[in-house]
């Protein structure tokens, strides 16, 4: 009789432990961090098709995105996109001769240096201004301008327009699979 009671108690303890574990996993997944798989080549050479990453969902609950953050957001096609933040609210964005200008000031894009050096013909990023794309002089509050690192083959703000900050799921900078690529990306 005591043996049966002991087994029931042990079963109850295991059940509670599993419920707590699944509950914590659900909370972490839905509110704090979530995995995502890179789909396509729009972020090459920084990210490759099939890379698995961790998305930090809590970072933007505390503060907003920073320039050059890699963000995941809900795109118009009911998909999630991974792109890099180029322009922030209040910014004027312009590309001229493969060079980024924010509010008239030339800014470096160190994550593209190697890629640019490998281009033998033409430029990585074609010339444009924010007005050409959005008819806006500055990025309005609540929006960001995003681009893929593979500028020649990226569907980004040049095509889909500005991204509402409300549509941003979070930022990501850690690849956890494949094993050869584990680590932080810039």
pLDDT at 47 (0 to 100): 87
Low-confidence winner among 97-101, 112-116, 134-138 (lowest mean pLDDT): 112-116
Residue 76 has pLDDT above 90, yes or no: no
Q: Where are the domains of the chain?
A: 1-33, 38-184
pLDDT tens digits, one per residue of 2-18: 666 666 677 777 777 77
**Locate tokens 């409300």: which residue?**
166
Residue 90 has pLDDT above 90, yes or no: yes
Segment 18-37 shows an average pLDDT of 66
Segment 92-111 shows an average pLDDT of 93
Residue by residue, DSSP assigns 89-124 as TT--EEEETTEEEETTEEE--GGGHHHHHH--SS-S
pLDDT at 121 (0 to 100): 80
Segment 40-60 shows an average pLDDT of 84
Segment 123-135 shows an average pLDDT of 90
H-only helix segments in the chain: 2-27, 59-62, 113-118, 130-134, 157-160
Low-confidence winner among 23-37, 50-64, 94-108, 147-161 (lowest mean pLDDT): 23-37
Mean pLDDT, the chain, rounded, equals 84
Indicate the pairing of strand 163-164 with strand 33-37: unpaired
In percent, how much of the chain has pLDDT > 90?
A: 37
Q: Is the CATH number of domain 38-184 3.30.310.50?
A: no
Q: Which residues are identified as catalytic?
A: 42, 83
- Closest to 139 (Cα-Cα) out of 125, 157, 153, 127: 157
Segment 140-156 shows an average pLDDT of 93
pLDDT at 4 (0 to 100): 64
Predicted TM-score (pTM) above 0.85: no
């Amino acid at each position: 009789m005591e043996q049966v009671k002991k087994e029931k108690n042990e079963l109850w303890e295991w059940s509670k432990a599993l419920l707590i574990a699944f509950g914590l996993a659900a909370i972490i997944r839905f509110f704090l961090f979530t995995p995502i798989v890179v789909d396509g080549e729009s972020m090459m050479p920084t990210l490759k098709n099939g890379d698995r990453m961790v998305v930090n969902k809590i970072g933007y609950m505390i503060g907003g995105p920073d320039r050059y953050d890699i963000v995941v957001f809900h795109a118009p096609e009911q998909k999630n996109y991974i792109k890099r933040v180029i322009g922030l609210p209040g910014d004027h964005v312009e590309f001229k001769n493969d060079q980024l200008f924010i509010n008239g000031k030339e800014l470096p894009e160190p994550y593209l240096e190697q890629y640019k050096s490998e281009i033998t013909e033409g430029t990585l990023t074609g010339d444009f201004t924010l007005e050409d794309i959005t008819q806006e002089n500055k990025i309005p509050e609540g929006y960001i301008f995003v681009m893929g690192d593979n500028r020649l083959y990226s569907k980004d703000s040049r095509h889909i327009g500005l991204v509402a900050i409300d549509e941003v799921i979070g930022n990501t900078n850690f690849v956890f699979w494949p094993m050869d690529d584990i680590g932080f990306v810039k």
